[in-house]
Amino acid sequence: MKLSVDDIENASQLFKSCDYLILQLEVPHSVVKSAIQKAHENNVKVILNPAPAQPFPIEMLTESDIITPNQYEAEVLSGVKIRSVEDAIQALKALNRRCPSRKVITLGEKGALASDSDHRYLYLVPRKIDVQDTTAAGDAFNAGLAYGLSKGMDWVATLQLANNAGAIACTRIGAQSALPYLRDIDSFYAAQGAGEIQYFDA
């Protein structure tokens, strides 16, 4: 919480050498807002993981950005109680009215739901895993998104990579120690495939 807007200004050169910026809400909102503005000034795309759950002006996000709330965070931002995939679709529609960014709601053991540029919603069916610890699941998911997109993967393949990274993290104890390497994801793909996706019309 000691991170300041001045720290963002002092690190402004970093925004000139990256493609994606991952942010969360464990630092002051003023810092997050400043980082988003600085990213947009430098054509850097933002991935906002709005955790922990709290109100935030997501209207700042653009079509180039992505927001990745979990179920509870999506409820706080959308005002929609999520008990099913259908509820999650309604939450995405509510979020769409607030900002034009792409969106992914991670639903824990129920998988994930994402918006698509083709006016569809993509439901990533949960992977079959032996859950040990979910601590690092969100971090792995967001890292997978940033990696896939920065490597030029399409949206669907990127979502699958992120979903599998999050699943693998759940099979391990701890936080940093649970994050998978690419070789772990390759092995997971070889054993189980990339994962099923179901499509819903927007």
Q: Which residue has the tokens 């996000």?
A: 61
Of 145, 152, 157, 164, nearest to 101 (Cα)? Answer: 145
Active site residues: 139
CA 109 vs CA 24, 74, 101, 127, 202: distances in Å: 22, 16, 25, 8, 23
Q: How far apart are CA 96 and CA 61, in angstroms?
A: 11
Residues 6+ apart with CB under 8 A from 152: none
- Asked if residue 169 lies in contact with residue 143, where contact means CB atoms within 8 angstroms, the answer is no
